[in-house]
Amino acid sequence: MPRFPATSYALCDAGVAQNRIGGTWVDATEGATLPVLNPRVGAPMGQVACSTAADIDEAVAVAQAAQIGWANTPIKARAQVLHRWRVLLETHLDELSWIVAHENGKNFEEGRASALKGIECLEFAIAVPNGLAGGTLQVSQGIRCEHRFAPLGVVAGVVPFNFPVMVPMWMAPLALIAGNAFVLKPSEKTPFGMCRFVELAEEAGLPPGVFQLVHGTRPAVEALVDHPDVKAIGFVGSTRVARVVYSRATALGKRALCLGGAKNHLVAVPDADVEMTATNVVASSMGSAGQRCMAASVLVAVGDTQHIVDAIVAKASQVRLGHDMGAIIDPEAVRRITDHIDAAVAAGATLLLDGRDAKPPEGFEGGCWVGPTILDHVTPDMPAGCEEIFGPVLSIIRTETLDEAIEIENDNNYGNAAAIYTSDGGTAQYAVDRFEAGMCGVNIGVPVPREPFQFGGWNASRFGHGDITGADGFRFWTRGKKITSKWALASDNTWMS
Ligand code: NAD
């Protein structure tokens, strides 16, 4: 069974993240597990079940049976259950934040912020009966048309390691309020947070089986996508896997929305407020140790912006590892990030700040660490200028004009976020109008749309139609049913029959 004992950064045993099927913790049928690393400590904190197709079959069958009663529960009563869940999540906020800090390596405060953002998504779902109800209209004499949002049945979500409780909450509340049963496959690197979320959902009154957890790796995902009774797949992760999952699901005629990776460009022009820009760019590129799909990855410094670059380097130098910035998810990711830094230097980039030899926090020397790193004079064709590094590395590209900067942003394959730093409204408008990204910022480096606005990128950052949160998210997990009725005694003399 999973346990949730953490109250500080000290390593503790979280047990086994088992599958949650029908309200019970169960091992995967073949009994296989993988170790789960605490990245800050660099030692295992527990195990995670490795599910096979047999586990997926069982989870989906139980979910299918449970979904019937849940779909027949009035939507306002479903909202009441979700509301009680929200209260419990807030009551257990510290506990949930520590779980995220342990399995992901984030600071406690970052874990807390991510849990709160997940709760905000839940609040949106609770309000769905008020804001996104279907509608009815008299369309002819005595004839009414009604639109309903009907659930799909059993639906599934597959999520990445970097926001272990926030990203699942982009999907689960909206899928559940719609009357679906939801099967979640958390990242095998961070499986514990959602174990506690599901326990608390059941404590709030969610019927067992309506929210199932199946842990594991690629075979579990493939079995979920292929299962004939799984009607829709939501996926968030790297572009490579998003593309594969999207193709596989849509080839089977399924509904799929798959969010991928990112390479976000922040553009600074000379009139930008120096203090605010520097603070913001550092927070965007180094927060969550750069392991965010919305993190600043490239700073395009336009014209005479040396004073801004100097301020960014000065601020980033003050970031304390383990205090202001958390750990990297695992040793393999540390290698990928440091290889990128090595390669950029070899290709001619200038290292303004080197995180490769940053000093780990005392007592956590065995953890997975890379300090804030800033590379200058990167070119757009260098891997550091165009590939997702997913670590605390800011690549600076220099241009003479704003149009060149916009062209560099536009030429990038991805399209999650882009931002402009300026004190001039016209310049801001000009850039935002031209960025090729789904989420744009003005003087803000992590332009995440808060509820009720929707989250979703463009280009290789998203496969499928629509955004994953907000009204689009609700529509993704539902299908429209249109009912036209004539009950009036008066005869209708229009073309309707
Ligand atoms: P990942 O793609 O390696 O894994 C995501 C999920 O897919 C995990 O649950 C994993 O078990 C599963 N998976 C891995 N390989 C698979 C395969 N071959 N077939 C089927 N399933 C597979 O991503 P990650 O390393 O966990 O997360 C980091 C990535 O997620 C980054 O690229 C980041 O940009 C992206 N991300 C994107 C968003 C967004 O909103 N666009 C949000 C968060 C993270």
In tens, the pLDDT along 286-296 reads: 999 999 999 99
pLDDT given at position 322: 95
pLDDT given at position 141: 83
CA–centroid distance, 160 to ligand 1, in Å, is 4
Q: Which of 293, 368, 386, 440 is catalytic?
A: 293
CA–centroid distance, 205 to ligand 1, in Å, is 31
CA–centroid distance, 45 to ligand 1, in Å, is 21
For 54-100, write each residue's pLDDT tens digit: 999 999 999 999 999 999 999 999 999 999 999 999 999 999 999 99
Two tokens, residue 365: 């020397």
215 in the same domain as 82: yes
Give how many domains the chain has, as a whole number: 2
Neighbours of 154 (CB within 10 A): 27
Min mean pLDDT across 300-304, 329-333, 427-431, 488-492 is at 488-492
Whether residue 490 has pLDDT greater than 70: no
pLDDT given at position 497: 66
Pocket test for ligand 1, best of 103, 241, 247, 439 (most atoms within 8 A of CB): 241
Tell whether 436 is covered by a domain.
Answer: yes
Band of the pLDDT at 217, cuts 50, 70, 90? very high
Band of the pLDDT at 108, cuts 50, 70, 90? very high
What count of Cα atoms within 13 Å lies in the side-chain half-sphere of residue 346?
7
The helix (H) or strand (E) run that includes residue 440 is strand 439-442
Tell whether 110 is covered by a domain.
Answer: yes
pLDDT given at position 415: 97
Two tokens, residue 252: 């089977």
pLDDT given at position 142: 83
290 in the same domain as 251: no
For 48-58, write each residue's pLDDT tens digit: 999 999 999 99
CA–centroid distance, 221 to ligand 1, in Å, is 11
Band of the pLDDT at 195, cuts 50, 70, 90? very high
For 303-361, write each residue's pLDDT tens digit: 999 999 999 999 999 999 999 999 999 999 999 999 999 999 999 999 999 999 899 99
**If 0-12 CB within 10 Å is exposed, 13-18 middle and 19+ buried, where does residue 342 land?**
exposed
Ligand 1 atom 34: residue of nearest CA: 261
For 269-287, write each residue's pLDDT tens digit: 999 999 999 999 999 999 9
Average pLDDT rounded to a whole number, residues 474-479: 97
Tell whether 56 is covered by a domain.
Answer: yes
pLDDT given at position 132: 81
> By three-state DSSP, how is residue 270 classified?
coil
Residue ranges making up the domain that contains 214: 16-260+461-481
Tell whether 327 is covered by a domain.
Answer: yes
CA–centroid distance, 161 to ligand 1, in Å, is 7
Band of the pLDDT at 492, cuts 50, 70, 90? low
Ligand 1 atom showing the smallest separation from residue 455 Cα: 40
Q: Which CATH number covers residue 331?
A: 3.40.309.10
130 in the same domain as 90: yes
Two tokens, residue 188: 């095998």
317 in the same domain as 198: no
> By three-state DSSP, how is residue 359 classified?
coil
**Distance between CA atoms of residues 75 and 128, nearest Å:** 9
Helices then strands, each counted (H, E), the chain: 16, 21
Check if the beta carbon of residue 169 is closer than 8 Å to that of residue 122.
yes
427 in the same domain as 283: yes
Tell whether 60 is covered by a domain.
Answer: yes
Ligand 1 atom showing the smallest separation from residue 238 Cα: 32
CA–centroid distance, 329 to ligand 1, in Å, is 13
240 in the same domain as 167: yes
Beta pairing, strands 211-213 & 230-236: unpaired
Ligand 1 atom 17: residue of nearest CA: 218
369 in the same domain as 477: no
Two tokens, residue 67: 């979904």
Ligand 1 atom 9: residue of nearest CA: 187
* 293 included as an active-site residue: yes
For 353-395, write each residue's pLDDT tens digit: 999 989 999 999 999 999 999 999 999 999 999 999 999 999 9
Q: At what angle do helices 108-126 and 75-91 cross, to 10 degrees?
A: 160
Give 435's strand partners.
none
27 in the same domain as 123: yes
Q: Report the chain's C-alpha Rg in angstroms.
A: 24
pLDDT given at position 488: 62
355 in the same domain as 269: yes
The helix (H) or strand (E) run that includes residue 484 is strand 478-486
**If 0-12 CB within 10 Å is exposed, 13-18 middle and 19+ buried, where does residue 332 land?**
exposed
Ligand 1 atom showing the smallest separation from residue 468 Cα: 40
Two tokens, residue 81: 């259950």
Ligand 1 atom showing the smallest separation from residue 262 Cα: 34
Give the residue ranges of DSSP H helices in 377-424: 383-386, 402-411
Tell whether 490 is covered by a domain.
Answer: no
Residues with CB under 6 A from ligand 1: 158-163, 167, 185, 187-188, 217-218, 221, 236-238, 241, 244-245, 259-262, 293, 388, 390, 416, 457, 461
pLDDT given at position 495: 75
Tell whether 207 is covered by a domain.
Answer: yes
